[in-house]
Amino acid sequence: MTISIQVSVNGNYKAPVKVTREDGSEENHVVSGFGLDRPNVLSINHYHGSSNITTVTVGPEEQDDGNDAG
């Protein structure tokens, strides 16, 4: 069984997303809706089980002007 966690951002906003798994692996993403006419969706798969924990941290959301420098 797979559980899907989705983070959706729309408009000129962006949000950092950190995924930490129990095995110590970590993923970092920035989800941005800048310039899109629909929400940008990040799907994160979680494989269930008593020894498999996934922690997803989102935010803080901020305005995105398309400038990577911040």
Cα distance between residue 33 and residue 31, in whole Å: 7
- Per-residue confidence at 1, pLDDT binned at 50, 70, 90? low
10 Å Cβ neighbour count for 52? 11
Q: Are 34 and 14 in contact (CB under 8 A)?
A: yes
Give the tens place of pLDDT for each residue, 30-58. 999 999 999 999 999 887 777 788 899 99
Instruction: Give the pLDDT mean for 17-28.
Output: 93
Whether residue 33 contacts residue 13, with contact meaning beta carbons closer than 8 Å, is answered with: yes
- Measured from the Cβ of residue 19, the count of other Cβ atoms closer than 10 Å reads 20
